[in-house]
């Protein structure tokens, strides 16, 4: 498949003066729903991938091949520009290069590589650490080397604001910018003062995750160079709750006809692209 057009759209968003919220997606149908509702970008996080593929918490049990396979399923289901959290790149800098190659082939419009020390080393449980900035720079350079399509966006990600503080955050972001990444992805900024310090220190687009309550105004964020601001991953949590409630009701004896909150037949046809499939069936298999 040709992924270029959606990558060009994502780059246009980063170059624009706006800030947008992405739609958190985790499978083909959720991605189609986000696209149908008008989200310009989908976000597939490592945490939602772990839930979807393994039913496990976000502790880096997922493998690259498992992640890339789910990414491909999401990308091929529609035309949503997909930003993904590639965590630490599944290893060292050479693994990062391989990660970029696989995710580019799977169709992503953008990906982030972070500098958290993952998976968590022995003896450090409860104390999240970052890798040295020099190692982080090496990972960013390897990510850029792995890219074949120049339209693919590569973002250098750090959670330094909540681990080592804003001064170290700025130092890391400036180093990753100097390495050549297209954007910086910052997790854990809580105040406008800290965001403004970051904004004044970098000259490339900012992607914001885990922001504080003071950072909800899209116009303000846009003025600080933020182009994408995550809102969390509520859709998969809502889906889990809905499945739990439905199965619980059935187990307790509720007749299927009396269940609440089910998708209508019309919505099911929409998200499964039923009209298109019916058209192909008539064209290629005959019949009325």
- Mind listing the pLDDT tens digit for each residue in 132-145? 999 999 999 999 99
Q: Which two tokens stand for residue 189?
A: 């900024």
Predicted local distance difference test score (pLDDT) of residue 1: 80
Distant-in-sequence, close-in-space partners of 184: CB < 8 Å, separation ≥ 6: 155, 156, 157, 158, 173, 176, 177, 198, 202, 204, 205, 206, 207
Does some domain include residue 276?
no
pLDDT tens for 36-65 read 999 999 999 999 999 999 999 999 999 999
| Residue pLDDT, tens place only, 235-266 | 999 999 999 999 999 999 999 999 999 999 99
Is 142 domain-assigned? yes
The verdict on residue 275 lying in a domain is: no
Is residue 36 domain-resident? yes
Query: Does residue 134 lie in a domain region?
Result: yes
**Token pair for 257:** 């006809």
Q: What is the CATH number for 224?
A: 3.20.20.60
Rounded mean pLDDT of 181-194? 97
By residue range, what is the domain housing residue 214? 4-233
What pLDDT score does 288 carry? 66
Task: Answer whether residue 187 shows pLDDT above 70.
Answer: yes
Taking all residues of the chain, what is their mean pLDDT, rounded to a whole number? 96
Q: Give the model confidence (pLDDT) of 163-172 as tens digits.
A: 999 999 999 9
pLDDT, tens only, 1-41: 889 999 999 999 999 999 999 999 999 999 999 999 999 99
Q: Is 269 among the domain residues? A: no
Is 80 exceeded by the pLDDT of residue 287?
no
| Residue-wise pLDDT tens digits, 62-101 | 999 999 999 999 999 999 999 999 999 999 999 999 999 9
State the Cα angle at 243 between 56 and 266, rounded to 5°: 125
Identify the residue whose tokens are 């972070």: 114
Is residue 75 assigned to a domain? yes
Please say whether the beta carbons of 202 and 225 come within 8 A: yes
Residue 252 lies in a domain: no
Total domains, the chain: 1
Taking alpha carbons only, the member of 206, 199, 215, 214 closest to residue 185 is: 206
DSSP 204: S
């Amino acid at each position: 498949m040709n992924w270029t057009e959606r990558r060009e759209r994502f780059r246009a968003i980063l170059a624009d003066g706006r800030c947008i919220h992405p739609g958190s997606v985790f499978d083909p149908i959720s991605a189609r729903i986000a696209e149908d509702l008008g989200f310009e970008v989908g976000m597939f996080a490592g945490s939602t991938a772990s839930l979807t593929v393994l039913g496990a918490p976000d502790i880096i049990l997922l493998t690259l091949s498992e992640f890339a396979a789910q990414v491909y399923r999401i990308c091929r289901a529609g035309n949503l520009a997909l930003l993904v959290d590639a965590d630490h790149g599944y290893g060292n800098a050479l693994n990062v290069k391989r990660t970029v190659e696989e995710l580019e082939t799977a169709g992503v419009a953008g990906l982030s590589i972070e500098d958290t020390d993952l998976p968590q080393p022995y003896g450090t449980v409860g104390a999240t650490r970052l890798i040295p900035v020099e190692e982080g720079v090496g990972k960013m350079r390897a990510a850029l080397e792995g890219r074949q399509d120049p339209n693919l966006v590569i973002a250098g990600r750090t959670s330094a604001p909540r681990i080592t503080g804003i001064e170290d955050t700025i130092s890391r972001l400036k180093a990753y910018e100097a390495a050549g990444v297209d954007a910086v992805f910052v997790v854990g900024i809580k105040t406008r003062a800290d965001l403004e310090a970051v904004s004044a220190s970098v000259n490339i687009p900012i992607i914001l995750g885990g922001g504080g309550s003071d950072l909800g105004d899209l116009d303000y964020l846009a003025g600080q160079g933020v182009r994408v601001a995550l809102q969390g991953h509520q859709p998969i949590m809502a889906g889990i709750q809905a499945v739990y409630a439905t199965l619980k009701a059935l187990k307790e004896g509720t007749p299927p006809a009396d269940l609440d909150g089910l998708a209508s037949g019309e919505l099911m046809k929409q998200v499964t692209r039923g009209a298109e499939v019916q058209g192909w069936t008539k064209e290629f298999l005959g019949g009325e």
